[in-house]
């Protein structure tokens, strides 16, 4: 029995050493949700670690398979996050933030992040669906790196453009209705490694895709138009992250989600 205990303790020590060498924390290595000592919080799956920074109103997504961490571009669409709440039983985080509608003022919302394996759903809601609304830009997208490309199902054609593209070849995609795309989906990929992410508009009827440049690179910003001048209903997008396989793998994820 003593030898078995020694072997068990040694196994735990070996696992701890591996975690330390790989830069993993004990918290980040298991699925769930929790708080970090620096005031940030996280929601975790076997594939992704999503970290939320309430004071700066931002988040990161770390892909455990590829080792890539996706950072949002500088936020300008909303205030810091408040009333942050962890829903450990469903692997989700909720918080309040105010967005800036195009007609001025602020729009006070409740935002939720739901993590399931490689899928991160982000929703925005209000207490009163009759709240007046022209349009507003949603939470900032994750910024691509130099050399990455954006994949757009442009009407009946699928197009791949470099993220540093200076001007559009066919249609102006700086801002386009999501329903004008073949499918309400867009992706950012690294052609060399196949790592990337996609954005699906789960509620596309009043959605706008904005691929204008930020920091010299184009990334997919979701925006929401009012429904007959009001907020109307809960708005939702879903990110899917791939460690490899490029836009083909991301398209497969879209198909799987659409069929579920």
Q: Has residue 165 been placed in a domain?
A: yes
Mean pLDDT computed over 19-25? 36
The answer to whether position 9 is within a domain reads no
Give bridge partners of residue 50 from the DSSP assignment. 43, 61
With H, G, I as helix, E, B as strand and everything else as coil, classify residue 228: coil
pLDDT tens readout for residues 159-217: 999 999 999 988 899 999 999 999 999 999 999 999 999 999 999 999 999 998 888 99
- pLDDT for 170 equals 81
Specify the range with the lowest mean pLDDT, choosing from 47-56, 74-83, 109-118.
74-83
Using 50, 70 and 90 to split pLDDT, how confident is the model at 7?
very low
**Structural domain range at position 93:** 31-259
Whether residue 181 lies inside any domain: the answer is: yes
* Residue 156 clears pLDDT 90, i.e. is over it: no
Is residue 196 classed exposed, middle or buried when 0-12, 13-18 and 19+ CB atoms within 10 A define those classes? buried
Query: Can you give the CATH number for the domain in which 218 is found?
Result: 2.70.98.10
Rounded to whole angstroms, the Cα distance separating 21 from 43 reads: 22
Question: Any idea what the Cα angle at residue 258 is, between residues 163 and 52, rounded to 5°?
Answer: 55
In a domain, 123, yes or no: yes
**Structural domain includes residue 25:** no
CB 236 within 8 A of CB 122: yes
Closest CA to 62 of 49, 44, 46: 49
Q: What is the C-alpha separation between 168 and 235, in angstroms, rounded? A: 28
* pLDDT at site 31: 65
More confident position, 251 or 121? 121
Dihedral sign from CA coordinates of 212, 216, 220, 226? negative
CA 103 centroid distance within chain: 26
| Residue 132 in domain | yes
Whether the per-residue pLDDT at 11 is higher than 70: the answer is no
Sorted by sequence, the CB contacts under 8 Å of residue 201 that are 6+ apart come out as 178, 184, 185, 207, 209, 222, 237
Q: What is the pLDDT of residues 29-69, one digit of tens each?
A: 446 899 999 999 999 999 999 999 999 999 999 999 999 99
Distance of CA 9 to the CA centre of its chain: 39
Predicted local confidence at residue 175, as pLDDT: 95
Among candidate residues 133, 138, 76, 75, the one with its CA nearest the CA of residue 112: 138
If one counts the domains in the chain, the total is 1
Cα–Cα distance measured from residue 132 to residue 118, given in angstroms and rounded to the nearest whole number? 34
**Residue 21 domain flag:** no
Interatomic CA distance for residues 234 and 184, integer angstroms? 17
Flag whether 4 is in a domain. Answer: no
> What's the pTM?
0.85
């Amino acid at each position: 029995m003593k030898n078995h205990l020694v072997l068990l303790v040694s196994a735990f020590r070996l696992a701890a050493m591996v975690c330390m060498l790989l830069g993993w924390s004990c918290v980040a290595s298991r699925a769930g949700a929790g708080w970090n000592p620096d005031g940030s919080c996280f929601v975790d799956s076997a594939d992704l670690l999503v970290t939320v920074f309430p004071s700066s109103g931002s988040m990161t997504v770390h892909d455990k398979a590829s080792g890539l961490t996706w950072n949002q571009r500088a936020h300008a669409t909303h205030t810091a996050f408040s009333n942050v709440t962890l829903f450990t039983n469903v692997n989700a985080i909720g918080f309040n933030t105010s967005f800036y509608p195009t007609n001025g003022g602020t729009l006070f919302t409740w935002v939720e992040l739901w993590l399931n394996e490689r899928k991160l759903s982000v929703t925005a809601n209000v207490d009163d669906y009759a709240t007046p609304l022209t349009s507003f830009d949603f939470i900032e997208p994750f910024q691509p790196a130099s050399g990455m490309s954006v994949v757009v199902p442009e009407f009946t054609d699928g197009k791949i453009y470099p993220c540093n593209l200076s001007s559009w070849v066919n249609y102006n995609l700086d801002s386009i209705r999501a329903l004008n795309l073949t499918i309400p989906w867009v992706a950012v990929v690294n052609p060399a490694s196949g790592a990337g992410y996609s954005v699906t508009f789960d509620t596309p009827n009043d959605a706008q895709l904005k691929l204008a440049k930020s920091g010299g690179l184009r990334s997919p910003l979701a925006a929401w138009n009012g429904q007959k001048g009001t907020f109307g209903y809960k708005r939702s997008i879903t990110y899917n992250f791939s460690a490899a396989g490029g836009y083909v793998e991301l398209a497969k994820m879209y198909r799987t989600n659409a069929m579920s």
